[in-house]
Amino acid sequence: MHRIIVTVILLVGLGYSLVVLAFGMSDWRPPGDQQGYSPEQPITYSHRLHAGELGIDCKFCHSAAEHGKYAGIPSTDVCMKCHKYVTSSFDLLQEEIEKADKEKRKPKTIISAELQTLYDTLGLVDPKSPEPGADAKSIPWVRVHNLPDFVTFDHSAHIVAGVTCQKCHGPVESMERVRQFESLSMGWCVNCHREATENGIDGHPVNASLNCTVCHH
């Protein structure tokens, strides 16, 4: 009798595990592989709009990429270079101007919900004049591309060699929300290094080293 109870408990446990596993299985991958990872961000910033539609160069915002290891997340003052003036989408602004024209009044400042989040983190009431005393906070972006601590990847070395951003990050200019496009596994890195040494990059010969300590030290 007891044996039956135990067996039933274990079977239920196993069944439960399998069910949970089956759900989890859909995005199961070996530890460390985060291909396709696309977390929700505090601001629904669209790379498609900025980099794709508006054609802003990647390095305009990620300016450190040329100069050092990390491409870096742009500081909020970079956002404010444009968004001091651009507070909403063009259509909404246009609509308000036309409406105000009809009603014979000055157009109101239209602030889109997303940009309001930006202004809030910066402690601004009116984007054009900072509210004194309010604390400017960082935007808590969620890191998408995250290599383990035992790997060093230097953005500038790859940019100098002529590797495009898209080679590793995929077509970010078409992504609404950024997702990790490639596996960024060691095998993937090594293959690219091999290929680059063999074929060069854009016709330039390169020596992409395969020494372990190039990335691991």
Partner 1 sequence: MSHSDGNRPRTVDLPILAGDSSDMSRRRFLEAAGFTFSLVALNGCSRPNHELALPFTDQPEGQIPGRTQTYASTCSGCSAGCGLLVGVRDGRPLKMEGMPEHPLSKGGLCAIGQALPLGLYDRHRLQHPLQSGKQSDWKQVDQAITKELESIGNSGGAVRFVTSTITSPTLQASINSFLTRFKDARQITLDSVSTSAILDAHEQTHGTRLLPHYLLDQASVIVSFGADFLGTWISPVEFTSAWRTRRVPTEEHPEMSFHAQFEGQMSLTGSNADRRYRLAADEYGAVLNLLYSQLAERAGESEHGDTHGDSPIPAAELSALVDKLWHARGQSLILCDSQDVAVQVLVNAINHLLGNYGKTLDIVKPSLQRQGNDRDVLNLIDELQAGKVSALFVAGTDLTHNLPNRDKLKKAISKVRLVVSFSEREDDFATLAHFVCPDHHPLESWLDAEPISGVVSLYQPLLEPLGETRSILESLGTWSGRKDSAYDILRSSWEKNILPRSKSTSFRNFWDQSVHDGLVEVAPVKSEAGEFNADAVTPIPESKTPSDYCLTLYSRIGLTDSRHAQNPWLQELPDPVTKVTWDNYVCLSKAIAEKLDLVEGDVVRVSTADDETSLELPALIQRGQHDRVISIALGFGVKGTDRFANIGPKWFEGKPTVQPGELVGKNAAPLIDASNGAFQMNRSDVTLTKTGKHRDLASTQEYHSLEMPANVAPHGGEVRDIVQETTLSAFSKDPEAGKPEQHVHGDPQIWPEDHPKEVHNWGMVIDLNACTGCSACLIACQSENNVPVVGKDEVLRQREMHWIRLDRYYGGEDDDVQVSHQPMMCQHCDNAPCETVCPVLATVHSDEGLNEQVYNRCVGTRYCANNCPYKVRRFNWFDYPHEDSLVNLALNPDVTVRSRGVMEKCSMCVQRIEEARIDSKRRGEPLADGDIKTACQQSCPAQAIVFGDLNDSQSAIHATKENPRRYGVLEEFNFQQSVSYLRVVKNRDDHSQDGGEHV
Q: Which residues bind partner 1 (CB under 8 A)?
A: 2-3, 5-6, 10, 13-14, 16-18, 20-21, 24, 27-31, 34, 37, 39, 64, 66-70, 72-78, 122, 136-143, 146, 149-150, 152, 154, 156-157, 160-161, 207, 209, 211-214, 216-217
Shortest distance (Å) from residue 135 CB to partner 1: 9
In terms of CB distance, is 59 or 96 closer to partner 1?
59
If you ran DSSP here, which 8-state letter would residue 213 be given?
G
Cα separation, 142 vs 121, in Å, equals: 15
Task: Tell me whether residue 91 or residue 149 sits nearer to partner 1 (CB atom).
Answer: 149
Nearer to partner 1, 1 or 113 (CB): 1
Residue 157: which H helix or E strand, with range? helix 155-160
Q: How far is the CB of 27 from partner 1 (least distance, A)?
A: 6
Q: From the CB of 146, what's the least distance to partner 1, in Å?
A: 6
* Amino acid sitting at position 157: A
Q: Smallest distance, Å, CB 176 to partner 1?
A: 19
* Least distance CB 68 / partner 1 (angstroms): 4
Determine phi and psi for 161, rounding to 5 degrees: -75, -10
Nearer to partner 1, 42 or 171 (CB): 42
CB 124 within 8 A of CB 130: yes
- Cα 162-150-209 angle, rounded to 5 deg: 40
